[in-house]
A and B are shown apart, each in its own frame.
Chain A
Amino acid sequence: MIDVQGLIKDFGTTRAVDGVTFSVRAGEIMGLLGPNGSGKTTIMRVLTGFFPPSDGRVTIDGLDVEEHSLAVRERIGYLPENVVLYPDLSVRRFLTFCAEVKGIPARTRRARIDEVMVACGLTEVAGKLIGKLSKGYRQRVGIAQAVIHRPQVLVLDEPTVGLDPRQIVEIRTLIKSLGGSTTILLSTHILPEVSMTCERVMIIDYGRIIAEDTAEGLTRRLQGSHETRARIAGPREAVLRTLQALPGLEDVREEPASDGVVAVVVRSSQGDEARRALAEEVVGNGWGLLEVRPLPMTLEDLFVRLVRSERESGT
């Protein structure tokens, strides 16, 4: 459905996207994961026809985004990043405008708007001005405008950014419910998000794809976390000295804790083995082991690891 071949986008002398190639099958949910400024938004803007690629070929449903710009835009629903909608229009007025512009026939327009408002949970704010809505509701209006014409392809740029946890769950459920019938490309810089919503994940950095994996594959990679957080009740000096001397621990970092308790984050490539050794050592010394918890891998960790493995495979 989405096919991108050797996409390059330059802004002046800066290369924002550097030779990206990927494709998304019909009905698939693909995640685009990368830190801010990695080129996610630029790729999405090219897909949605906001600006053309500097080089490469992008097709949606077999149509070139540059040559058949209008036809492509009819097939796409797009939620831009930090979506700010027209603050002085009411929700219903704005969605009516979207429906008209996106060519929904007058006969079915009202019914379709009501349907979308129910699906996105907007019915109770239909008459309110968009500018007066909370961030969560605005985001839902943004999704409503993207899906109103039942697009074949949905492009969502950071759909859950700035929402509270409950709203995030709601939005994720909404996105998942659309999968299957709609091809979805969504971007995020939050790691757990992709494994929860996407079937396939692409990781990009500095405008290049550095890894592509299924959601399960990525989750598996994430479980082997290197960092463990431990809280130990014991004499500070002795605890730190013992841990630093422990074989297999590469780094011991102390964190603030209450009196009589030492909190540390230890780094080790041995994972569970290191945690076992640490626990035995602490218990053996007669100290209290209050907490041993593997820390979830952060996006930074994953990046460090991916970039390292890429380099190793390169040499």
Chain B
Amino acid sequence: MRTLALIRKELASYFAGPLVYVVVGAFLLATGYRFYTTLNSYVTFGFGMNILEHFWEDFFVNHIGFYLLIVVPLFTMRLIAEERRLGTIELLYTYPLRDIEIMTAKFVACFLVFMVFLAGTLLYPLVVYMIQPFDPAPFVARYVGTMLFLASCIACGLFISSLTDSQVVASSCTFVLLLLFWIITWNEAAVSSTLLTALSQLSTFDHFFSFARGVIDLKDVTYFVLFIALFLFLTLRSMEARHWRGRR
């Protein structure tokens, strides 16, 4: 009940400003452009390949996934940092609210805002389907994967936002951290194969990739769930820090 009230307040704040509209617009413009050009190049040069399978794999990982990674810090940076800077955190902490309720509301509200982004991307498979119908089943996996990846990015951003008063610091640190988890296995030649195996267990890119191929693997689901749980746990600890540090 109290959490719902907080979620409504968060959503009201998001949609009061221009940020959501501008960024959704930019996101759909960028992904839309890449959708058109990538599909075009696969159709033109992809002889002998299963064009559609490869195209969707490429599109979800390199475009939807990566653009989300860029956009998420813009939305998570304000979650707690702004409340601290404005001083409104003092209201929240002195209202009859548990820390976990505040955190859950911020996490869920941000996630809901990103559902607008994902709803926009449904257009792309729909366009292809109208030209050439296909089996929609893999898209369940693709969207489940995208949502899990998205939730992981938000959890990470929420934690970093709880550490600082500065939104610029919060967004840049979040971006760097998310990027690190994304590209950690990209230079395969630089590390030994055993290390690579270990690193690929940590990589958001590798785990997201199997979803993008249209497969839901319990291993990948577990990875993202643990990733989210870890950062939410750290956020809670960071919020509770005022009890032992005694500062704002």
Name B16's closest neighbour in chain A (CB-CB): A88
Partner of B13, one of A51, A82, A88: A88
**Max count, chain B CB within 10 A of own CB: residue among A70, A86, A93, A102:** A86
Report whether A11 and B5 are in contact in the complex, using a CB–CB cutoff of 8 Å. Answer: no
How many chain-A residues does the 8 Å CB contact rule pick out?
Answer: 35
Tally of A-B residue pairs with Cβ under 8 A?
Answer: 80
B133 interface hit (Cβ, 8 Å): no
Of B16, B86, B88, B96, the contact of A73 (CB 8 Å cutoff): B96
Given known pairs A84-B87, A101-B6, the reply for A9 and B94 (CB within 8 Å) is no
Answer yes or no: A5 CB below 8 A from chain B CBs.
no
A101, B95: Cβ atoms under 8 Å? yes
**What residue in chain A is nearest B101 (Cβ atoms)?**
A101
A101-B94 in contact (CB<8A): no
- Is the pair A83, B1 in contact by a Cβ cutoff of 8 Å? no
Pairwise interchain contact A100-B94, C-beta atoms closer than 8 A: no
Q: How far is the CA of A10 from the CA of B247 in the complex (A)?
A: 10
- Give Cα A35–Cα B1 distance, bound, in whole angstroms: 41
Whether the Cβ atoms of A100 and B86 lie closer than 8 Å is no
- Is A49 close to B, CB under 8 A? yes
Nearest Cβ on chain B to A8's Cβ, whole angstroms: 11
Closest residue of chain A to B5 (Cβ to Cβ) is A100
Q: Which chain A residue lies CB-closest to B85?
A: A84
Residues from chain B with Cβ under 8 Å of A22 in the complex:
none
Q: Check if B97 is an interface residue, CB within 8 A of chain A.
A: yes
0/1 interface trace, chain B 84-100, chain A, CB 8 Å (1 if under):
00111011011111100
Contact B13 A101 (CB under 8 A): no
Tell me, yes or no, whether A287 is within 8 Å of chain B by CB.
Answer: no
Q: Is the CB of B242 within 8 A of A50?
A: yes
Interface positions of A from 62 to 79, Cβ below 8 Å from B? 70-71, 73-74, 76, 78
Given contacts A97-B5, A101-B6, contact A80 B90 (CB under 8 A): yes
Please name all residues of chain A whose beta carbon is closer than 8 Å to the beta carbon of B16 when the two chains form the complex: 88-89, 129
A54 located at the interface, meaning its Cβ lies under 8 Å from any Cβ of chain B in the complex:
yes
CA distance A51 to B96 in the complex (A): 14
- With A49-B94, A80-B87, A88-B17 as contacts: A100 and B243 at CB distance below 8 Å: no
A-side residues, CB < 8 A to B, are 9-11, 45, 48-52, 54, 70-71, 73-74, 76, 78, 80, 82-89, 93-94, 97-98, 100-103, 129, 145
Q: Tell me the B residues contacting A by CB distance below 8 Å.
A: 1-2, 4-6, 8-9, 12-13, 16-17, 86-88, 90-91, 93-98, 242-243, 246-247
Q: Which 6 A-B pairs have the closest CB atoms?
A: A100-B5, A88-B16, A48-B94, A97-B9, A73-B96, A74-B96
